[in-house]
Structure 1
Amino acid sequence: MTKTSGADAGRTPREVLDLYHRAMREMAADDLADLYAEDGTHEFPFTTPGFPGRFEGREAVRAGYRAAWGASPLRMVEIADVVVHEAAEAGTLVGEHVAVVESARGERFAVPGLLVVRVRDGLIARMRDYMDALAVGRAGASIASKSPAAAS
């Protein structure tokens, strides 16, 4: 179990968001989860069928992202168009971004997203993740329609 270290406590919310984006780019579930407080939550307000509405606790974040990224036919290429807005509440940021993902066939898809992150002692206490589920669905549908199983 990871405990808050002195290095964690000294991180600013912007640094945490930068590390979060790096973990996303690398699809590194452990690095991502280690950015969360032990009791941190990750919420998906725009729920999609078959995907939970939230992960409660660092280890649930770890398990959820390991499963999601491990099963994904897409790989992350880049996080682009990042814009960060400081919120009035201390330790809170709003980050806009576009995740660029690629299929095994080399097709690229843009998935816009918005993150509202609350950082406490250098770790994520609460993340609200508003990703464009329709863009994810379009990418998945394109891959499924071109698979050998779909042709039979």
Structure 2
Amino acid sequence: MTPRELLATALDLLLSKDMSGFADLWASDGTMEFPFAPPGWPTRLDGREAVREYLRGYTEVYDIKDVTEQTVHTTTDPEVIIVELQVEGVLVRTGQPYQSRYISVITVRDGQIAGYRDYWSPLGLTADTDFTRRGDA
């Protein structure tokens, strides 16, 4: 898949709450990075299975209903795109609305995600949004 095709597939999987399928888009040695992660949160995941484990409790916390904005920027490297997204949904545990913006740099190799650098803002996070600190994690 091309970077744009992978993005479209990833967003479809996110909206259908198929986080395992979302993780399947990664190369076995692909990475996911969070440069702005707050203290105590991971800043880098190495490998598809680490991404899968990280996302294991996602749908217990976030119910993403829609991608309300999306802009894709091409780069001089045909295997790299930069994506600006806004998503809206609900925080499952509280029923409160959830809205967040993301900027991601996605690198594709052989039709799979080799690198995903996610520049999301941790501002506004609460204990209810912290799915990486679940009691069963």
Offset at residue 75 of structure 1 (A): 1.4
Within the candidate set 32, 51, 54, 1:42 is matched to 32
1:111 alignment partner in structure 2: 100
Give, in whole Å, the separation in 2 of the partners of 1:85 and 1:100: 21
2:112 alignment partner in structure 1: 123
Aligned: 1:32 with 2:22: yes
Q: Secondary structure at the match of 2:37?
A: coil
Higher helix share: 1
Within the candidate set 43, 46, 49, 1:59 is matched to 49
Give the letter for the 2:87 counterpart: A
Q: Which structure 1 segments of 5+ residues have no match?
A: 1-10, 145-152
TM-score (norm 2): 0.84
Instruction: Detail structure 1 runs of 4+ shifted over 3 Å in the superposition.
Output: none
Q: What fraction of aligned residue pairs are identical, expressed as a percent?
A: 34
1:77 alignment partner in structure 2: 65
Give, in whole Å, the separation in 2 of the partners of 1:20 and 1:70: 15
Higher strand share: 2
CA pair 26-50 structure 1, distance change in 2 beyond 3 A: farther
Q: Which structure 2 segments of 5+ residues have no match?
A: 130-137
TM-score (norm 1): 0.76
Cα RMSD (Å): 1.9
